[in-house]
Amino acid sequence: MAELNANIPEGELTEKWTKLRSSMPLVNPANKRSIEIIVVGSGLAGASAAATLAEMGYKVKCFCFQDSPRRAHSIAAQGGINAAKNYQNDGDSTYRLFYDTIKGGDYRAREANVHRLAEVSANIIDQCVAQGVPLAREYGGLLDNRSFGGTQVQRTFYAAGQTGQQLLLGAYSALERQVGMGKVEMFTRHEMLEVVVVDGKARGIIARNLLTGELERHSGHAVLLCTGGYGNVFYLSTNAMGSNVTAAWKAHKKGAFFGNPCYTQIHPTCIPVSGDHQSKLTLMSESLRNDGRIWVPKKKDDTRKASEIPEDERDYYLERRYPAFGNLVPRDVASRAAKERCDAGYGVGKSKLAVYLDFKANTERYGRIEASVQNIHNPDKETCMRLGREVIKEKYGNLFDMYAQITGEDPYELPMRIYPAVHYTMGGLWVDYNLMTTVPGLYSLGEANFSDHGANRLGASALMQGLADGYFVIPYTIGAYLSKELATKPIPQDHPAFIEAEANARGIIDKFFAIKGTKTVDYFHKKLGKIMWEKCGMARNAKGLTEAIAEIQQLRKDFWSDVRVPGEANEFNPELEKAGRVADFIELGELMCIDALNRNESCGGHFREEYQTEEGEAMRDDENYAYVAAWEFKEGVKFELHKEELKFENIKVAQRSYK
């Protein structure tokens, strides 16, 4: 059985990373040229890693299932990326970013990793600016910042509401440069279906060419999984439709432990569900909470229009409950508060499952400043609103357009209606400090790993982590492993491990076609999503989770006896792709419920109704649950728990408060 050793370097917290990277074994340039690295995924984590490793001299093969690396889900990221640059002179520092992240994650993340993340955060911005990423600037040309939840400083760098797109274009350009020089071989429209483990080490993958259906063997000295998050296990989420867990799950079945699978982030500001027809939900970026105030009517079941409800009959419940952070409390806190108000009968809109996000007050405030800049004295309200609207448009224009297109309402005139939705998964493949999984030579980066965010991720920290992993961490840590692999010759692809892995992948595909059932893949996916949302979603309890586990086990049986996959294996077949992904989601869903049931406490995004304070806040149990739950896969879809104890030596563990 693999050892669970986080490999955290010795020494002072602030020096661990510097010392380690300065003393790590290196691979010399001539040797790098004969070492092959497989990078699965070309989102921010994968593209940054592949480009950097190739630039360092390694031979890289990079895979993605989309038709271009530019279509990775990272492109959807809207609001921004954090970095402790202290450009606003508002008291930010590496330590404060570290502290905010540990506290934001409800004291369930590793101190050493989070401190390293805070340390390299500033380098990421320099790197991206050097690449030409057009981060927003102030009038004078300096980089601009805004606030995100769970912090009291402005450390979020952004590019309008398209930060992910601009960052990805930067990483993609770096990647394509290496492709152009022949140092990265890019395989688009390829889906990894198996990890190949030779003598206990990851040595390759089996990938399906999605256009021809052909199964291909690819070998390498190390394999990096940068394959994103698994929020789509809930069917409805803000993730791209294609986001899935297959790569991570196949690795899990080959010995990689899965860390904290139950930690799911429910984002408070999404466009509410409008009906059964939907297959996707849309995020309204957290950046909007810089200027949008969240409220519900003070009166239950109030049917008046928002504009007819006077100021003193509105409940700005986040500002009321959390005066120190107000509308910028972390996502888990804001989501629960919205649910609490709606459950209590104060929700708005037809479904009553929505709250208002209102920009009026800040539009007027901006207008007043703008009028002053333009030397307009004593401007009337209309002038202020007109001028303020331009400022709001400049900051959030594309998000407002998106909202208007989807809902048919003009958010410049009416408050947005929003409700929490599944957004991000803090859980993922367990990795040590070097980003290596429990399978030697198999690494995981970005959202695919169990990450640095503990039980709740602060906004604008995913892009930071993915790029930290790819640009600044793996380029160092992988060298320590590869320096011991210099004698390893190119891995022969006719090794029995390749033959077996390919046969496995083919066996699953054949099984799908043999079932010839009556139900579509989506039918099962929707059913799974409903169970997960209702019983392992924003609020969980032992009874619901126990039921969910039984229901998912039954669903798995039904799936494998009644799913219908049309078409052929040897052709472009999106239904077949979905079938494989949903089969893995079903197994993952069960593990998420098992993990949630095991964790008899509430922390961050994991809210067990039995464990809450009198005020309805999450109640941790540090004595019994200050550990990372790392699950090992066992034959017959069984799971064994391993624990990585979390030690807090630099931060005093306390009840999280944003009041």
Ligand X SMILES: Cc1cc2nc3c(=O)[nH]c(=O)nc-3n(C[C@H](O)[C@H](O)[C@H](O)COP(=O)(O)OP(=O)(O)OC[C@H]3O[C@@H](n4cnc5c(N)ncnc54)[C@H](O)[C@@H]3O)c2cc1C
Which residues participate in catalysis according to the annotation? 331
Stretch that binds ligand X, among 15-23, 404-412, 441-449, 625-633 (CB under 6 A): 441-449
Q: Is 246 in the site for ligand X (CB under 6 A)?
A: yes
256 is an interface residue for ligand X by CB under 6 A = no
What would the two tokens of residue 395 be? 């900051």
Stretch that binds ligand X, among 7-15, 40-48, 110-118, 121-129 (CB under 6 A): 40-48
Question: Which amino acid belongs to residue 223?
Answer: V
CB of 545 to ligand X, least distance (A): 25
Binding of ligand X at residue 529 (CB under 6 A)?
A: no
The verdict on 63 binding ligand X (CB under 6 A) reads yes
Q: Which residue in the set 49, 60, 64, 328 belongs to the binding site for ligand X (CB under 6 A)?
A: 64
Quick one: tokens of 416?
Answer: 């947005």
Would you say 45 or 545 has its CB closer to ligand X? 45
What is the number of other CB atoms lying within 10 angstroms of the CB of residue 207?
A: 25
Q: The tokens of 286 are what?
A: 């957290």
* Closer by beta carbon to ligand X, 434 or else 602: 434
Q: Give the integer Cα–Cα distance in Å for 254 and 633.
A: 8
* Neighbouring-strand partners of residue 197: 202
| Interface with ligand X (CB under 6 A), residue from 120, 247, 354, 555 | 247
490/227 Cα distance (integer angstroms): 25
Beta-carbon contacts of residue 241 (< 8 Å; ≥ 6 apart): 232, 279, 280
CB of 238: closest distance to ligand X in angstroms? 4
Instruction: Say whether residue 512 binds ligand X (CB under 6 A).
Output: no
72 lines the binding site for ligand X (CB under 6 A): yes
Using the minimum distance from each CB to ligand X, give the nearer residue, 11 or 397. 397
Is 73 near ligand X (CB under 6 A)? yes
Write out the binding residues for ligand X, residues 77-96 only, by CB under 6 A: 77-81
- Select from 13, 42, 145, 179 the one that contacts ligand X (CB under 6 A): 42
Calculate the alpha carbon distances from 543 to 534, 610, 612 in Å: 12, 10, 16
Distance CA 72, CA 68 (A): 8
47 phi/psi in degrees, rounded to 5: -65, -40
Identify which of residues 467 and 548 has a Cβ nearer to ligand X in the complex. 467
C-beta of 23: minimal distance to ligand X in Å? 29
* Residue where the block lists tokens 């027809």: 277
Could you tell me the two tokens for 117?
């993340």
Q: Which residue from 9, 105, 170, 228 is in contact with ligand X, where contact means CB under 6 A?
A: 228
CA distance 211 to 355: 44
> Which CB sits closer to ligand X, 9 or 466?
466
One DSSP character per residue, 307-329 reads GGS-GGGEE-HHHHH-TTTGGGS
In the set 243, 264, 363, 434, which binds ligand X (CB under 6 A)? Answer: 243
- In angstroms, rounded to a whole number, what is the distance separating the alpha carbons of residues 300 and 592? 35
- Total residues at the site for ligand X (CB under 6 A)? 46
Q: What DSSP designation does 632 have?
A: E
Write 495-500 long-range contacts (CB < 8 A, 24+). 495/196, 495/198, 495/203, 497/196, 497/197, 497/198, 497/203, 498/196, 498/204, 498/206, 498/217, 498/219
Nearer Cβ to ligand X, position 415 or 446?
A: 446
Q: Of the ranges 243-251, 315-323, 504-512, 630-638, which one interacts with ligand X (CB under 6 A)?
A: 243-251
State which of positions 114-133 bind ligand X (CB under 6 A): none
**Is residue 332 within 8 Å of residue 604, measured between CB atoms?**
yes
Least spacing, CB of residue 76 vs ligand X, in Å = 4
* 220 counts as binding ligand X under rule CB under 6 A: no
DSSP 471: I
- Return the number of the residue (79 or 537) whose C-beta is nearest ligand X: 79
CB 42 → ligand X: shortest distance, Å? 4
65 interacts with ligand X by CB under 6 A: yes
String of DSSP letters for 524-573: HHHHHHHHHHHHHSSSB-HHHHHHHHHHHHHHHHHHHHHB---S-SSS--
331 or 336, CB closer to ligand X? 331
Measured from the CB atom, the residue of 223 and 548 that comes closer to ligand X is: 223
Interface stretch with ligand X, choices 36-44, 321-329, 476-484, 527-535 (CB under 6 A): 36-44
Calpha distance 448→427 (Å, rounded): 8
Question: How many Å apart are CA 354 and CA 415, to the nearest integer?
Answer: 11
**Closest approach of Cβ 569 to ligand X, in Å?**
17
Return the residue of 87, 424, 471, 631 that touches ligand X, per CB under 6 A. Answer: 424
**154-183 positions binding ligand X, by CB under 6 A:** 163-164
Site residues for ligand X, 310-369, by CB under 6 A, read none
Q: How far apart are CB 170 and ligand X at their closest, in Å? A: 13
In the set 52, 86, 162, 461, which binds ligand X (CB under 6 A)? 461
Query: Which tokens hold the place of 290?
Result: 């810089």
Q: Are 464 and 272 spatial neighbours (Cβ–Cβ below 8 Å)?
A: no
Q: Which stretch binds ligand X (CB under 6 A): 236-244, 295-303, 368-376, 618-626?
A: 236-244
| 191 near ligand X, rule: CB under 6 A | yes
> Binder to ligand X among 169, 215, 283, 646 (CB under 6 A)?
283
Which tokens is 45 given? 């984590």
Task: Give the strand pairing for 190-198 and 201-209.
Answer: antiparallel
Of residues 229 and 441, the one with the C-beta less far from ligand X: 229
Q: Which is nearer to ligand X, 47 or 309 (CB)?
A: 47
Q: Is 186 in the site for ligand X (CB under 6 A)?
A: no
- Contact status: 255 vs ligand X (CB under 6 A): no
Partners of 436 in beta bridges: 443
Q: For residues 106 and 109, give the distance between their C-alpha atoms in angstroms, rounded to a whole number.
A: 8
Contacts 24+ apart (CB under 8 A), 326-330: 327/289, 327/292, 327/293, 327/294, 328/147, 328/148, 328/149, 328/150, 328/151, 328/289, 328/290, 329/149, 329/150, 329/658, 330/104, 330/149, 330/150, 330/456, 330/458, 330/459, 330/658
Binding flag, residue 238, ligand X (CB under 6 A):
yes
Contact pick of 53, 59, 74, 330 for ligand X (by CB under 6 A): 74
By the rule CB under 6 A, 268 interacts with ligand X: no
Decide if residue 632 touches ligand X (CB under 6 A): no
Q: Which stretch binds ligand X (CB under 6 A): 24-32, 37-45, 291-299, 639-647?
A: 37-45
Euclidean distance between CA atoms 271 and 420, whole angstroms = 8
- Establish if 446 lies at the interface with ligand X (CB under 6 A): yes
**Which residues lie closer than 8 Å to 337 by C-beta, 6 or more apart?**
268, 317, 318, 321, 329
Query: In this chain, which stretch among 13-21, 62-70, 311-319, 478-486 interacts with ligand X, using CB under 6 A?
Result: 62-70
32/96 with CB nearer ligand X: 96
C-alpha of 69 from chain center: 18
| Residues found near ligand X in the complex (CB under 6 A) | 40-46, 63-66, 72-74, 76-81, 163-164, 190-192, 226-229, 238-239, 243-244, 246-247, 283, 423-424, 446-448, 460-463, 466
